[in-house]
Structure 1
Amino acid sequence: MNATLVADLTILVLSLLVGFEVVSKVPATLHTPLMSGANAIHGIVIVGAMLVAASAHTALGYVLAFFAATFAAVNVVGGYVVTDRMLKMFRKRPVRPAPTPMTTRDELS
């Protein structure tokens, strides 16, 4: 195995472990707001996918760049959708006008 590949795999595994530990320590009430904001940050991953696509010279490189860009775009859109749904929960509902009292037959005559 190449030393660079071993270093890259080590970083990947360590980042997965640290990410899992950090996310698992977040209380359930804060999980959705934090994750929706974090997903929106994944726009950086789209830029990385474009850089991979620009430097790809094989069919495998193009396929990997396509999947990276697709998954990153889904993650960004999902982050904004979750954030929008969450913010809708805190909007004030429009005030309905009070119902008017019904008129009786005696008042109509």
Structure 2
Amino acid sequence: GYYVVWSVTPALHTPLMAVTNAISSVIIVGGLIAAAAVSGDATGPSAWIAKGAGVVAVTLASVNIFGGFMVTRRMLAMYKKKERPAPKVTT
């Protein structure tokens, strides 16, 4: 994934990160459903495995979304016009 993202031109990077964040948000929804999977008297080992997998999925997808927003913010900052310092007036 690292080589794919960094070899993309800056103009295409923001849409790529937006799609990645959308996929991760779907993973978070699925992870929340899995973490709440204990229904009725399903308290066996499989229920705990589902809860654990759900928590891990939510955690990793949250880190991915946060990192995606940080990288997107950094990429968009490249396109901002840099302010020039005011000229010094000597008297």
Between structures 1 and 2, the one with greater helix share: 1
Instruction: Note the residue ranges of structure 2 that are not aligned, 5 or more in a row.
Output: none
Aligned residue pair count: 79
SS at match of 2:19: helix
Percent of residue pairs bearing the same amino acid type = 27
Normalising by structure 2, what TM-score?
0.69
CA contact (8 A) 1:39 1:78 kept: no
* 2:36 is the counterpart of 1:47: no
Mapping 1:1-109, distance limit 5 Å:
28-29=8-9, 32-41=13-22, 42-56=24-38, 57=42, 58-101=47-90
Q: TM-score, normalised by structure 1?
A: 0.59
Whose relative contact order is higher, 1 or 2, with alpha carbons under 8 Å and at least 6 apart? 2
Q: Matches of 1:48 and 1:40 in 2, distance apart?
A: 14
Larger Cα-atom Rg: 1
CA distance in 2, matches of 1:68, 1:28: 27
Offset of residue 35 of structure 1: 3.5
Give the deviation of 1:34 after TM superposition.
4.0
Deviation at 1:74, TM superposition (A): 0.8
Q: Check the 8 A contact 2:37/2:51 in 1, yes or no.
A: no
**For structure 1, which runs of at least 5 residues remain unmatched after alignment?**
1-19, 104-109
